[in-house]
Amino acid sequence: MLQAISPIDGRYADKTKTLVPYFSEEALIRYRVRVEVEYFIALCELVSDSAHALGSTYKGQPAGSIADFTSFSFHAVKNFTTAEAQKVKEIERTTNHDVKAVEYFIKEAFDYLQLEKYKEFIHFGLTSQDINNTAIPLSIKEAMSGVYYTEIQFLIDKLQQLVAEWKDIPLLARTHGQPASPTRLGKEFQVFVTRIEAQLQSLRAVPYAAKFGGATGNYNAHKVAYPSIDWKAFGTHFVEKVLGLHHSFPTTQIEHYDHLAALFDALKRINTILIDLNRDIWTYISMDYFKQKIKAGEVGSSAMPHKVNPIDFENSEGSYQIDLIVSKENLTPLGVTYTCTSNSSFAKEKLTCKITYSKQNTGIQVEVPEAVEKLGGF
């Protein structure tokens, strides 16, 4: 990890490694492949032949219904390998388009499986955001259930254990930083349990929303190709029954992100509670209410050997604050414009530098006006 450019996958990699199967580049590719393949299978189940298309009729009777769908799981996707993800990245070097590279990767697999005549139904009628806006919420949902809720429950259980152990320990409470009336240590920690559990209720209520409706959200290409099929019903079934997400409809080309914003906001409130917890414990340590245990050979300070810095709680607080900043940035518009006025005599007008945050996580793009470049920048 010595070559890492971020503490997230460097110094704290052992803390974030459980998130790799959900949020790494390889994971994103795997989730995209999974959605594309599940979609193809759903199409196969939808139309065994043209006479049994969902919504079509035969002698005045429905030839198919939502009940005709069956559950399935594409097991091969679960065994998606790093080598296959690398193959997708190699294709992307040519396409310069990440979602298109996934489509071409699957089509190559169809060639290998001698399914060439069906491969044009891969990505049929879809736009990139139909894949992104299903793959990403699916990864978030599974990360929440597979990692987050387990970890937060572990914390709650630990706090509840301390509440029970310390329920009778008296403590001089402080208000405005000053000595106040007595309290009990267990009760002070119960405050955090109650706060976290209340916010978890709000967090669990947020649906994992997905957009699925073609280039502009209207199933235009689908309807033109197969006008007898109720594509809205198909899309809702695919998103909610197959992928287990909430189908946002109607939409534009992209998902609204309102539910995603609500999810981040709920996480932010829990992070704020945990920042308070860190600060309270830090304060208890500074007042000698708590003493820290150090490991053999551990150094408390580089200059003062008698001192043990409460770095675990400081690092934890800092990490939660980073989470708050990231959550906030996820909600900002794609185009954020900053203006400044140059003091140079060469500049006769206000110069604007536009900074754009890329949705594809390719970094930050900066558009610098030509006049600024001539001045040598800001």
> What gap in Å lies between CA 108 and CA 345, rounded to an integer?
60
Please, are residues 38 and 108 in contact by the beta-carbon 8 Å criterion? Answer: no
79, two tokens: 């065994």
Long-range contacts of 221-226 (CB under 8 A, 24+ apart): 221/124, 221/125, 222/124, 222/125, 225/124, 225/125, 226/47, 226/53
What CATH superfamily classification does 137-207+258-330 receive?
Answer: Fumarase/aspartase (Central domain) (1.20.200.10)
Active site residues: 176, 301
Q: What is the pLDDT of residues 73-120, one digit of tens each?
A: 344 445 788 999 999 999 999 999 999 999 999 999 888 888 888 889
Is 268 a residue whose pLDDT tops 60?
A: yes
pTM (two decimals): 0.76
Q: Which residue has the higher pLDDT, 204 or 311?
A: 204
For the chain, where do the domains classified as CATH 1.20.200.10 start and end?
Answer: 137-207+258-330
**pLDDT at res. 322:** 63
**pLDDT at res. 299:** 78
Q: What is the pLDDT of residues 319-352, one digit of tens each?
A: 776 655 544 444 333 333 333 333 333 333 443 4
Is 25 a residue whose pLDDT tops 90?
A: yes
Q: What is the pLDDT of residues 127-162, one digit of tens each?
A: 999 999 999 999 999 999 999 999 999 999 999 999
**pLDDT at res. 48:** 52
**pLDDT at res. 84:** 92
Average pLDDT over residues 273-290: 89
User: What is the percent of the chain with per-residue pLDDT over 90, rounded to a whole number?
Assistant: 52
- State which H helix or E strand residue 279 sits in: helix 258-286
Q: Which of 192, 332, 202 is nearest to 266 (CA)?
A: 202
Is 50 a residue whose pLDDT tops 80?
A: no
**pLDDT at res. 160:** 97
